[in-house]
Structure 1
Amino acid sequence: MLSSRPPRRLLIRGVVLLVVVALLTPSVVSALTYEPSDSEALQRGTVTDAAEGQTVVSTQGYTFRGNTNPKKPARLVALDERGGLNWTYQSRQGADAWFFDVDPLPNGNLLVVSPRSGNTLVYELDPETNEREWEQLLPYEDTHDVDKLNDTALVVSHMRAWNESQQVSNDEIVVYNLTTESVTWRWRYRNHFPNSTDGGMNDDWTHSNDVDPVGDDQFLVSPRNFDQVLLINRTTKDIDRRLGEDDNYSVMREQHNPDYLEGEDGTPTILVADSGNNRVVEYAYTNGTWTRTWSVGSDSLNWPRDADRLPNGNTLITDTLNHRVIEVTPTGEIVWEYYATWGPYDAERVAHGDGSNGPTIREQNATGTYEITGSAGLVAGSGQQTSVGTFITATAAGTPLSGVGEELGTLWGHYAPWLRPVWMSGWDLFYAALAGLLLVGWLLTEVGVYGYRWASARSTAGRATGR
């Protein structure tokens, strides 16, 4: 009687091959039909209301180990009221440059922050001539935010300040004098936080990504990895106020670019891009505690990293991993949208200066939680209400793997958009990853089967020869 095992194995191999081909087909089709201009295009999305003047966007781009992907360039983009492209600017110095913070200055120029090669270049750019009025190379790695305090002083959020010999973090906020090229004021996180915060010191302990002057007496700072926003007293160096706490993700998770507002009654208010929770939130300080008064976008934003309140009451949001900038009403309706690939970090309405200049949500009687509606859903962004990361998280929800699923979903949503080829969608990459896992599993099974047979054959041969 003939054994049915070989045909069965062939059938299994055939099924595995068909599934792998099916999973890889979307990415192959995308590659064959890919048009480079589609991915590189800077394009307008939904625009129902004209913006109040020009919008400037800094796009981080993608650089890895000194190599910049030409399809994912770092650049500054300026847009008119209806989302038309006014100009773009790419760095002519340093192939591995990034762009992070960009601040409109009173004279019409822009203060630009651009890390490169282990240092950070800060300069004042004249957008009319593309010339730099001045520049300063700071010996700080990967700085995300620098603000100009006056004609001679900068305040710098200095992260990744790791002391290798002492194994301690020197992450800090400093005031830097441009005339003397020296630090005149310093505030170090390790003097105010236990060394055990966020699992212990490392070379990116705080990831301090933002510093803003609040009046003449305080700095608002954002240690992203600590999940909190701080108001620091510039005279006493005490922490006057704190929003959030380490690993309490219900308040914030790995936030970016908080702005300080005050209502008409003087209520302290913080508007912040709650990046890890994929939302923008606003908190008001009343009766000795912070209360969340507004939340928008938890099912549609993907790693937002900037939010500014405009004088008209709307909010300008930089939706980084959807590669777009949107202006939304207090109830979440998009009235202005632009796809600014690749990886926008900061967006500013030039006429209004740096940061938030509008009313709080409480002043607009619009407190609540809202979803974002009205997107054009173009290719440059995901255009999908259910992203791969959200799908992974939702699939594991309510099971013993819910915690693992949430972490995997977050990791996927954060890193996959940077790693995937420009011709792949998020789902193309997901299907290709599944195909890879299936192939690895099948190969391991085949190796195991043949290994078992080889061992059995040797054992049988040994018994037959009496060895």
Structure 2
Amino acid sequence: MFAALRPQSNRIRLIGICLIIILITPAVTSAITYDSSAQSALNEGTITDPANGSTVISTQGYTFQGNTNPKKPARLLAVGEQGNLRWTHDDTVGGSAWFFDVDPLPNGNLLVSSPRDGKTVVFEFNRTTKTRVWQQRFAMEDTHDIDYLGEDRFVIANMREWNESADVSDDRIVIYNRSEDAITWEWTFRNYFSAETDGGYSKDWTHVNDVDPISENRLLLSPRNFDQVIVVDIETKAIVERLGRDGAHDILHEQHNPDWLISESGTPTILVADSENDRVVEYAKLDDEWKRTWTVGTNTLTWPRDADRLPNGNTLIVDSLNHRVVEITPTGEVVWEYYATWGPYDAERIAHGDESNGPTIREMNASGNYPITGSANLTTVSSGGAGVAGWVRTTFTETPLAEPANTIATQWAHITPWIRPVWMTEWDLVFTLASTITATTWLVAELIAARQRFRIIFHRLLR
């Protein structure tokens, strides 16, 4: 019986081997032909209107267990009006770095937040000499944002402040006085939010990624994991404004870097990178309700994490997982673009200072929903265009599976870039996973068949 089955089994094995080879070939080819200098290249994209002065960009890079992947570098860089690279800066002083918030200071230097080795190094960076004017090391694990308040005072978003003994989150906002080397004000999230928010306390409960002073006595906060933006009064510590709510993903979904604008008519407005929804949105408070007045980039952005309104009415957007910074018109046309691998986080036009300082969309009569057009698409892996995520969305659109397919596509676009080797394309990864599944299934089947043959032989020997 075994002899009769052996030719058929051998044919199945041969088919399996051929299938595995076919599936793994694209990844092997990519690895052999990969240009190691290409992924970390810094290139201009579309430039139809020169920028007003330099643009400074922080790239997060990828650091794991204290080591930065050299092919996914973390660094600061400055780009000229025509997309010409002016300088780059990276360092490993005190451990391999992430680079997050970078803000122009009144004196022309930069304020930088750079977590490393389980703490956060904050420093003032001289753009001319490329040196640190001063630095301060905080026992804060992963600080994304610090802003200057004046008079040697800084406000810090302190996430991942886990209280091990009490088993609660102490995530907070603090004001630090550098002259006194002391925290002079503190606001703790668990005093104002239910312990059940975002499913309950965790070591990364709020992931508060941004804090901005919006007046002398008010702070704009972005607790990312709570899907909302809030305004806190420094004196009373009360929450006086709130856009979004926990789990209301149609409003905001794990947003980054909101900016507060006031129109000429006095209308409060929030511009925000709605990251997990792959879009940038603007909300105006009309008749005591926050109403979305502008949406841009749906299915053309991939995990945007910063958006600043410029004085000319355009918006500077950090499109993190397309590894680029784009300046777009109110209707979504790209006029300036720079590709800044790997994983840009923050971008500022130095001439305009920190955050947004331009008109609102309603003031420009440009309310609406717009795609982003005119990109050079040099390394774009847009969730709505080419690539696995785009294919999934297009394939299942207008079908009963559209919603779960969209969720899967979004998660794929946001997670796989961090784990995918730089020499491997999205489709290479798909075929490699299919090859792994095929090989594993075949191995399991062979082990089961071998076990069955052994049992038959063993029982025959006992007779």
Fold similarity call, TM over 0.5: yes
Alignment match, 1:368: 368
Q: TM-score, length-normalised on structure 1?
A: 0.95
Q: Distance in 2 between matches of 1:424 and 1:204?
A: 30
Q: Which moved more, 1:311-320 or 1:408-417?
A: 408-417
* Residue 138 (structure 1) aligned with residue 141 (structure 2): no
- Structure 2 alignment gaps of length 5 or more: none
1:258 & 1:50 partners in 2: Cα distance?
Answer: 26
Report what 2:58 is aligned to. Answer: 58
Alpha carbons of 1:205 and 1:390: their partners in 2 closer, same or farther (altered >3 Å)?
Answer: farther
Contact 1:68-1:95 within 8 A present in 2 as well: no
CA contact (8 A) 1:376 1:383 kept: no
**Amino acid corresponding to residue 98 of structure 1 in structure 2:** W
- Any residues of structure 2 matched to 1:7-86 within 5 Å, and which? 7-86=7-86
* Aligned-residue offset at 1:28: 1.4
Task: Give the Cα–Cα distance (whole angstroms) in 1 for the partners of residues 123 and 155 of structure 2.
Answer: 14
Partner of 1:347: 347
Matches within 5 A, 1:258-337: 258-337=258-337
Instruction: Give 2:115's aligned residue.
Output: 115
Q: CA deviation at 1:19?
A: 2.3
Counterpart of 2:422 in structure 1 is: 422
Q: In the aligned structure 1, how far is the partner of 2:406 from the partner of 2:5?
A: 41
2:86 alignment partner AA? N
1:382 aligned onto 2:381: yes
The one-letter code sitting in structure 2 at the alignment partner of 1:382 is: V
Distance in 2 (CA, whole Å) between partners of 1:416 and 1:94 is 29
Amino acid at match of 1:139: A
Q: Is the 8 A contact 2:262 2:268 kept in 1?
A: yes
Shift, 1:204, TM fit? 0.3
Is the CA contact 2:95–2:117 (under 8 Å) kept in the aligned structure 1? Answer: no
Residue 243 of structure 1: aligned partner? 243
Give secondary structure in 2 for the equivalent of 1:38.
coil
Letter in 2 for 1:269: T
Residues 282-338 of structure 1, C-alpha deviations (whole Å, 9 max, x = no match): 111111111111111111111110000111111111011111111111111111111
CA contact (8 A) 2:299 2:382 kept: no
- 2:167 is aligned to 167
The alpha-carbon deviation at position 390 of structure 1 amounts to 4.0
Q: Is the 8 A contact 1:307 1:316 kept in 2?
A: yes
* Unmatched segments (≥5 aa) in structure 1: none
1:457: how far off? 3.2
Secondary structure of 1:120 counterpart:
strand
Alpha-carbon shift at residue 104 of structure 1 (Å): 0.6
Distance in 2 between the 1:321 and 1:329 partners?
Answer: 21
1:208 matched to 2:208? yes
**8 Å Cα contact 2:302-2:382 kept in structure 1:** no
Q: CA deviation at 1:139?
A: 1.3
Contact 1:377 1:383 in 2 (8 A): no
Distance in 2 of aligned mates of 1:258 and 1:343? 19
Report if aligned partners of 1:140, 1:161 keep a CA contact under 8 Å in 2: yes
1:226, 1:110 → 2: CA distance? 30
Report the Cα offset of residue 49 of structure 1: 1.0
- TM-score of the pair, normalised by structure 2: 0.95
Residues in 1 aligned to 2:238 and 2:301: alpha-carbon distance in whole angstroms: 34
Percent identity of paired positions between Structure 1 and Structure 2: 54
Q: Secondary structure at the match of 1:40?
A: coil
Q: Which amino acid aligns with 1:103?
A: D
Shift of 1:461: 3.9
In 2, the alpha carbon distance for the partners of 1:109 and 1:184 equals 25
Give the letter for the 2:215 counterpart.
G
Residues 180 and 356 of structure 1: CA distance in aligned 2, closer, same or farther (over 3 Å) = same
Q: CA–CA distance in 1 between the matches of 2:391 and 2:195? A: 36
Query: Aligned equivalents of 1:208 and 1:192: distance in 2?
Result: 14
Find the aligned partners of 1:450 and 1:21 in 2 and give their Cα distance. Answer: 24
Q: Structure 1 pair 212/383, CA: closer, same or farther in 2 (3 Å)?
A: closer
Conserved in 2, the CA contact under 8 Å of 1:230 and 1:239? yes
* 1:27-58 Cα deviation digits (max 9, x unpaired): 21211111112112111111111111110000
Q: 1:333-363 deviations in whole A, cap 9, x for unaligned? A: 1111111001100000000001111111111
Q: Tell me what 1:226 maps to.
A: 226
Matches within 5 A, 1:167-206: 167-206=167-206
Partner amino acid for 2:245? E
* 1:14 positional shift: 2.3
Matches of 1:251 and 1:458, distance apart in 2:
65
Letter in 1 for 2:381: S
Query: Which amino acid counterpart does residue 366 of structure 1 have in structure 2?
Result: A
In the alignment, the residues of structure 2 paired with residue 302 and residue 402 of structure 1 have an alpha-carbon distance, to the nearest angstrom, of: 19
Moved more, 100-109 or 6-15: 6-15
Equivalent residue of 1:272, what SS?
Answer: strand
AA aligned opposite 1:35:
D
- AA aligned opposite 1:115: P
Deviates further, 60-69 or 451-460? 451-460
How many aligned residue pairs are there? Answer: 462
Amino acid at match of 2:364: Q
User: After the TM superposition, which parts of structure 1 deviate over 4 Å for at least 4 consecutive aligned residues?
Assistant: 1-4, 392-407
Identify if the C-alpha distance between structure 1 residues 95 and 136 changes in structure 2 by more than 3 Å, giving closer, same or farther.
closer
Which range moved further: 330-339 or 86-95? 86-95
Q: Is the 8 A contact 2:301 2:382 kept in 1?
A: no
CA distance in 1, matches of 2:324, 2:4: 57
Give the drift of 1:114: 0.4
Q: 1:400 to 1:16 in 2, by over 3 A?
A: farther
